[in-house]
Amino acid sequence: MSSKILDSFLKENLEDLKGRGLYNVIDPLESPNGPTITIGGRELVNLSSNNYLGLATDQRLKDAATDALNRFGVGAGAVRTINGTLELHVKLEEKLAEFKHTEAAIAYQSGFNCNMAAISAVMDKNDAILSDELNHASIIDGCRLSKAKIIRYNHSDMEDLRAKAKEAKESGLYNKIMVITDGVFSMDGDIALLPEIVEIAEEFDLITYVDDAHGSGVLGKGAGTVKHFGLSDKVDFQIGTLSKAIGVVGGYVAGKQDLIDWLKVRSRPFLFSTSLTPADVAASMRAIEILMESTELNERLWENANYLKKGLVELGFDIGQSETPITPCIIGDEVKTQQFSKRLNDEGVYAKSIVFPTVPRGTGRVRNMPSAAHTKEMLDRAIAIYAKVGKEMGIIQ
């Protein structure tokens, strides 16, 4: 018999979410997550995937994964510190360090997991963390888990960060102070002001932590936001995910050897959760090799992103502060944003709406994620559909 209190809690809250139009309906794909996708038997231009470089379906990665799967099996069999470390994991970590221009790296099972692991391995209740108010949910949860005092600063507001860093430092209350930011912010596509953040960190002796989930493979000719600003030796923690531009799944920290050695003995998902599968590791390693050998996919991504952005701006859409391929079309009203996304879908474009509470109230947007794998024809099709639906709904003239 199930718990009555749980049953009523779930029923009440699910009905509430559904009533407010906030219950997220999941559309299963009947195709790979490529530049077009098939849902409900219909082919749609896909503008909602983080598969920035198209590597999720790249034959070279599939071959690497298949080979590893045939040689090592489907699972790693244990956590990293028991005997779940295959030589493949070690090679991937060496490759990640080379990719990020750091002494060493450590891989985790996801980017989310990585933030849960890394922050709490170093920060505790006697410390403070200065966190951009728009940081990703996994950073927020990682900070909470550490039990450090969390001090939020206004989004990319360097005066606010400086004032809060000064106050925290001068209070004498904290052993260590960390500043933590996304490299690229996932809802607006703007880039963190890393040179200023690093300068403030140097002034107040802050630990620097950059989660570059959306910058790796995208900025710095693929090497990421830290490299884009030439700050590789000035950032303590460079976090990345293997799940977006790399096209597979997993997360990592790149940094100094001592930091990585510490994370290997103190970060709990490394110690207590089974390691990445052989196929995931081999495919990720192949992706990084491809990124390091050539900037071709990165260039194609930017070409496509600029093409889509230009098309949407010329139509009169508001793409906000985007400086990267992440292209929001800001509609404002929550219900209208959801209707807009639905109409785009009816016409052949898959672009998800993002509304409160994920973004502030009244800033609902449809978020577009162009990739290197889109053809001009696909992007033209999407722009034409945006024009049709935008005019029909009175969003553009």
Which residues are at the interface with ligand PMP (CB under 6 A)? 110-112, 115, 136, 138, 182, 186, 211, 213-214, 241, 243, 251
Q: What gap in Å lies between CA 220 and CA 231, rounded to an integer?
A: 11
| Active-site residue identified among 89, 95, 149, 244 | 244
177-182 β-sheet, strand order:
104-108, 251-255, 237-241, 207-211, 177-182, 128-132, 149-153
Residues in CB range of 396: below 8 A, 6 or more apart: 315, 316, 317, 387, 390
DSSP-derived 3-state class of residue 230: coil
With CA atoms as reference, report the closest residue to 111 among 262, 282, 351, 284: 284
Task: Pick between residue 152 and residue 343 the one whose CB is nearest to ligand PMP.
Answer: 152
Which residue number, 254 or 389, has a Cβ lying nearer to ligand PMP? 254
Min dist CB 299 to ligand PMP, Å, is 23
155 is catalytic: no
Residue 10: how many other CB atoms lie within 10 Å:
12
- Tokens at residue 370, please? 């162009």
Report, in Å, the least distance between residue 211 CB and ligand PMP.
5
* DSSP run (H or E) holding 209: strand 207-211
Q: Give, for 46, the enclosing helix (H) or strand (E).
A: strand 42-46
Q: Catalytic annotation on 244?
A: yes
Q: What is the closest distance, in whole angstroms, from the C-beta atom of residue 346 to ligand PMP in the complex?
A: 27
Q: How far apart are CA 364 and CA 123, in angstroms?
A: 35
Query: What's the closest the beta carbon of residue 62 comes to ligand PMP, in angstroms?
Result: 20
CB of 168 or CB of 213, closer to ligand PMP: 213
For the question of residue 214 being annotated catalytic, the response is yes
Q: What is the DSSP letter of 222?
A: G
CB nearer to ligand PMP: pick between 54 and 247: 247
Nearer to ligand PMP, 50 or 395 (CB): 50
Rounded least distance, CB 183 to ligand PMP, Å: 8
Residues 281 and 247: their CA atoms lie apart, in Å, by 11
Could you give the residue numbers annotated as active site?
Answer: 186, 214, 244
